[in-house]
Structure 1
Amino acid sequence: MRVSFRRPTPAQLTAFLEKSGGLPFSYSQTGASAGEFPDGFDHDVNAVYLGEGEDLFRRAKDALFNWVMFPPGWTFAWSNGRLPEKGTPVAVVFRLFGLWWLNGARVVYRIDAPVKAGFAYGTLANHIECGEEQFAVELRSDGSVWYTLKAFSRPRFLPARMIYPVARRFQRRFVRHSFLAMKKALAHE
């Protein structure tokens, strides 16, 4: 975790990724977001309807794999231009309390099925939280397209534990804004 008063530059983000690349995950249940969540974590499952049809599903998948679901302005994911593939390091960056927080994560798995696409990343030893988050879009049998966020997490460092209720509100805000970011991206295509 790194905290800054200024939005990090691409050079700073690249250096952070390089330092984070070899770090271990901060939890032992890697891949659990694909199935049953482990005990001892907060569990979150949220979904939003995006629209209808195979074309929308393809566009939603492209948006997801290009990190569009991160709400602009106060959060973003930096992968140095890499698509989310298993092993891809990611700097998860957000602004809270006037500070920019850089957190290390790594893609745990990617989903590439005919009717479901997505990936999950897990927190590294330099992330303020501990856990895993899955981002997925799904084309259901009725033709509807849904965007789902699934996560299990718990505070890892003292600052996150001290402001636990605020951190949970922040996570819910991220979900709402992520839904809006996906809807906006798909409305403009």
Structure 2
Amino acid sequence: MVFEIEGIDGMFLLQQPTATQIDEFIAIQAQQELTYSSLGATQVPTPPGGFQVDHSRICLGQGREVYEQAKRALQDWQHFRMNWVSLHRQQAVPEPGQNVAILAHALGLWVLNASRVIYVLEESEPVQRFAFAYGTLPEHAECGEERFQVEWRADDDSVWYDLYAFSRPQQLLSKITYPYVRHKQKQFARDSLQAMQRAVAIHEK
């Protein structure tokens, strides 16, 4: 396990990496393969075996305007706006094949994770929704896939943000500290729901 770097060749870091180092990290990880075989499995009802499943959702309001606001917020990755996590990307909106880095600060370390957008979808039936998912690359603490979705339900006009993921620890430090990792995963879900609430509330003013 690498705790200090020359350039950027590890994901558990003692110092915050620079923007240039993160760009180099993304470029290196862009040449790598995803770390799991069930690509796109966040679109099917039954998750692959051997993974921990997490599912969180929150009602953001009602009506087309709220849905469009939530969709724009998701396209702008505003669901990552929290005080202990930052997202770094080289393209503006999520699209298949896009590689991103997620930088988190925890336990006195800077943890840099690499992911790749697997799919982006937009549907009008049976529920109007916009969603995308990313999967993990080799330099990621976890192995798995996560889907981010906003939906507008015709039956009651409600708009929801839905977060669904399956994962298991991939790096040694993640396995050793797995109870803490699970705590941070749950915190991320809560903070992401709140970030989307804020994003919609700001646009409603």
Mapped to 2, the partners of 1:139 and 1:49 lie a distance apart of: 10
Q: Deviations over 1:145-171 (max 9, x none)?
A: 000000000001110111111111110
After superposition, where does 1:1-189 map in structure 2 within 5 Å?
1-35=10-44, 36-114=46-124, 115-141=128-154, 142-189=156-203
Tell whether the 8 Å contact from 1:118 to 1:134 is kept in structure 2 after alignment. Answer: yes
Give structure 1 stretches of 5+ with no counterpart: none
Measured in 2, the distance between the counterparts of 1:118 and 1:8 equals 30
Task: Answer with 1 or 2: which has the greater Rg.
Answer: 2
SS of the residue 1:188 aligns to: helix
Q: What CA RMSD, in Å, does the superposition of the two structures yield over aligned residues?
A: 1.2
CA contact (8 A) 2:122 2:129 kept: yes
Bigger RCO of structures 1 and 2 (CA < 8 A, at least 6 apart): 1
TM-score (norm 2): 0.88
C-alpha displacement at 1:78, in angstroms?
Answer: 1.1
Contact kept in structure 2, 1:71 and 1:174, CA below 8 Å: no
In the alignment, the residues of structure 1 paired with residue 57 and residue 137 of structure 2 have an alpha-carbon distance, to the nearest angstrom, of: 25
Unpaired runs of 5+ in structure 2?
1-9
Q: Which moved more, 1:93-102 or 1:145-154?
A: 93-102
Which shows bigger deviation, 154-163 or 8-17? 8-17
> In 2, distance between residues paired with 1:135 and 1:106?
13
Count how many residue pairs are aligned between Structure 1 and Structure 2.
Answer: 189
Counterparts of 1:163 and 1:186, CA distance in 2 = 35
1:31 Cα shift? 0.6
